[in-house]
Structure 1
Amino acid sequence: MAKAVGKTPFSHAWRALRHRNFKLYFAGQGTSLMGTWMTKLATGWLVYHLTHSAWMLGVVGFASQIPAFVLTPFAGVWIERVDRRKLLVWTQILAAIQSLGLAALTLAHIITIREVIALSALQGLINAFDIPGRQSFIVQMVDDKADLGNAIAVNSSMVNGARLVGPAVAGMVIAATGEGWCFLIDGVSYLAVIASLLMMRIRPITIKPTALSKLEQMREGWDYVRTFRPIRSILILFAVVSLMGWPFTVLLPIFAGDVLHGGAHTLGWLTGASGLGALISAFSLALRKSVVGLTRMIPIASGIFGVALICFGLSHVLWLSLVLLLFAGFGMMQAAAGANTVIQTLVSEDKRGRVMSYYTMAFVGSAPIGSLLAGALARAIGAPTTVMITGACVVAGAVWFAFQLPRIHPIIRPIYEEMGLLPATEPV
């Protein structure tokens, strides 16, 4: 069992770190994520440096994420049948090899856009299994299920802390030595998370035997997601947010170079501003003592994200663009982490892998199509107008979800009451 911690006014904000396994994960993954965000920025800048093409930025984004759209439903079924820790160890090893390969080609000055696309697609293939695996594994690292929502919020804080620092460091490294060293640092950083996974003492989850084939299990998971309104509505919203909103990140090199007339350091500032907003959002979620009220926050946060994107498209001043991206990052993370927490709270363990694979498909898998769309639109009408249009679509999605809440809350209430999360008199 987890040990008690000394009580302070904010001790509940970090209560998930009482659990040894989650603490190990926090330390290892936090180190690795720094390298991951360095690679994300360095890849975008490398593509822009090689091609100066908004379309190719979209193509690389598509290649890195389309495997998640295609493969995660299959991965979700498989994840429920295997040891999730062993799965994650292997995905981290493969990701390290991918980053080191990218580093070797770049440092040798023989990299071309074809190799970037191929290696990005390989990373997407790894992520198709790694992302739903990690989402499903969180519940095994936290002994007390009351701390699950906090674990997700703390995990989001870790991701966005790395997102804040990693791009800023990457901007300096690129300016000093080039993109290759960012990829090398990323490859080495995977050793930290691999070590943390191997050091964990995990209580295995009993895998119930089933007579269903993998395809029948996929259909069962799809029917569950399709007919359970709360999860279905959340996934529809995040398919829209991911398709239209998230791809603004692939256009940031265009804004840094052509709109704001800067360089790699400007791209680092833009990415860092979005990361700072997301980090603030994750901290605010960690301070919550309950998941109650998160469903009402999801459309508000999505609306903030969409409005910030519209205004960002209108800005041609660096300081204003940074402020707007801070709000965009805040809204995006508040909605995404809130949705993740609600889904993880509602779903039963025997369907967790499959449901989280559909969450990955909606939130990550729709992004590659959006990246291609954003790249094509940016080439035709310019990056600023593209971001304004996509931001308006995100706002429309938020309004739609807000009108779904009166139908969602009566379904969620009895589940929360049974779990002891919601008194009978308190609103959802």
Structure 2
Amino acid sequence: MVPSPRFSVRAVSLAVAAVSASLTMNASASMGNLGTTYGVMPIDVATAQSLSMFNDQVSATYYNPASLTKDTRGELTTGILHAEQELRSANPNANGDVLANSPSQHVLIGMKTNLGSLTRFKHPIYLGFIAGVEKYGKEMLAFNSQTSENGQFLQYGKEPLFLNVGGATPLWRGISAGLSVRVTLDATAQLDAVSTLGGETSRERLAVNAEPAMKTILGTTVDFGSTFCPESDCFLDGWEAAFAYRTKSSASTTVDSNIIVTQTIPDPGLSLAVSTIDSFQPETYVAGMQYAGDGWRVGGSVEQQNWSELGDAFDSDTIRMQNGVNGPKIEFDDILIPRIGAEYQLSEHFALRGGVAYEESPLKTTRNPDLNYLDTDKIVVGLGVSATYDRTRLLAYPVRLDLGYQYQQLQERDFTLVDYDGNETDVTADGDVHVISGSITLKF
């Protein structure tokens, strides 16, 4: 006998819900992450990540771990980030034209220290980590995967746990190298149950297992003045180059279930499987250059993100594979992101910085049945300020306060939405995103 459709849907729903409940409650996530969607620390937010390859703060563990060597002191940093999103789609079935406006809110903490003193060689070895948790620490593992009839934005939403751990060391005359790992989560579950044709289950047995997955980030920095003319002044003084490589990463959930239906499907029962990924980050290559003068610096970077791999990853995603079965396969392009920024030391205690970037959308197809992904090109502009307080009565080193603001303008782009019954609706997607970030840094 063919199993009841009502039962099949209920069984899958139960399996997915069991794993989802073990990770987070009422959470929504995306294919973005804190580091690439907004910027980790206020200085990254304020410069649109244009100077992130050369920053000595703990966010270097994500952008370029080699930059941990730029400041020999230890560091403890705490901060917050708040992003207000108004993502629009001109679809009359989506409550006006505002498709999503829930904020993304993070609490940040990071630390860096020199472990060289543990060895007899006294060679500096810097260890750093940075973590960001959604909803000010209340949602550590935000995760959701779904189809949508009204459209859903590809890279915005609540972000899952952002965690990076890495180290760096100087190699030779202004050349440093570093390695870090981004930590994601792979969750699996096995559900066994007995059910009636009405979908009422009994004797449920559920086993959930979650394991961390480590994805590598490599980085190097070259100070041309220190490398080529360390003992005298030359025209290369002030010039620096940096290179970084980040492997692709994602969080994943896999549910396997085996259901026995009373008087209908005997042992070994009906097997159902659900597999999905979230927070996919593409393989990324970054090259940056900066020039630092007396109290100022200017620089930029070019970032290549290989999003085309996401289309292949969706082939094994049972929630998103509907698009590949019932319609054309969803496609993504590899993209190149230019960024440029500057920083100026207003006085001994205050610094002003800003940056701009243009991010092309990696989403190639504008008609994605069932999934109905929306994504547009965007212009990113940032501005920020730092204040350093030297006279602290209790602390041995100055205290630094950072504030950063970022505005993202999502350009208009036309899409065709296809609902479950095959009805099509032409919409125009656009949006505005405002990001505010602040941090306090203690040196030791």
Alignment TM-score, normalising by the size of structure 1: 0.24
Alignment TM-score, normalising by the size of structure 2: 0.23
Structure scoring higher RCO (CA < 8 A, sep ≥ 6) equals 1
Structure (1 or 2) with the greater strand fraction: 2
